[in-house]
Amino acid sequence: MLKGFKDFVLRGNVVDLAVGVVMGAAFGTMVSALVKDFLTPLVGAIFKVPSFAGLSFTIHGSTFIYGDLINALIAFLLVAISVYFFVVLPMNSLTAKFKKPAEAFTKKCPECLSDIPLAAKRCAFCGQAIV
């Protein structure tokens, strides 16, 4: 019973997932700090409002604090923008540099210019013999 548990825990997928979760938590903390300490004050400086948390309205004695929602939406958008421009875009360009060009599985028939398999000896569309 313990051998099976040990095999399960030491399998590559479980260890990879654990590393991914730990790295994701650390990265999330870093991105949150970037948004909270740099980007949100920058937005506040642009709009000349340090925080939207004080914005509210009252209807029949009930207070609706919509400023917190605005702060949360701005934080979400800034996190999404940060992740896209500082992680996704650089990773996409990096993987594009190292990606091998796809192998061709077809070739053009010299007679009718149809796509035919590389191993074809005769075109399926026009019947032309392929050399």
pTM of the model: 0.50
Q: Helices 66-83 & 40-47, crossing angle to 10 degrees?
A: 120
What average pLDDT is seen over the chain? 83
Pairwise CA distance, residues 125 & 129, whole Å: 11
Q: What percent of the chain has pLDDT over 90?
A: 14
Q: Do 119 and 107 contact (CB within 8 A), yes or no?
A: no
Pairwise CA distance, residues 1 & 3, whole Å: 5
C-alpha dist (Å) from residue 51 to 36, 80, 86, 127: 11, 20, 25, 73
Residue 114 contacts by C-beta under 8 Å, 6 or more apart in sequence?
108, 123, 124, 125, 126
6 versus 65: the higher-pLDDT residue is 65
pLDDT 10s digits, 62-78: 999 888 888 788 878 88
pLDDT 10s digits, 69-126: 887 888 788 878 878 888 889 988 988 888 777 667 889 998 999 999 989 999 989 9
128: containing domain: 101-131
Residue 109 contacts by C-beta under 8 Å, 6 or more apart in sequence?
115, 116, 123, 125, 126, 128, 130
CATH number, position 40: 1.10.1200.120
Both 86 and 112 in a single domain? no
C-alpha dist (Å) from residue 46 to 40, 41, 42, 67: 10, 9, 6, 17
Both 61 and 112 in a single domain? no
Confidence class for position 1, pLDDT limits 50, 70, 90: confident
Confidence class for position 12, pLDDT limits 50, 70, 90: low
Both 83 and 55 in a single domain? yes
117 versus 37: the higher-pLDDT residue is 117
Count structural domains, the chain: 2
Both 90 and 120 in a single domain? no
Both 81 and 125 in a single domain? no
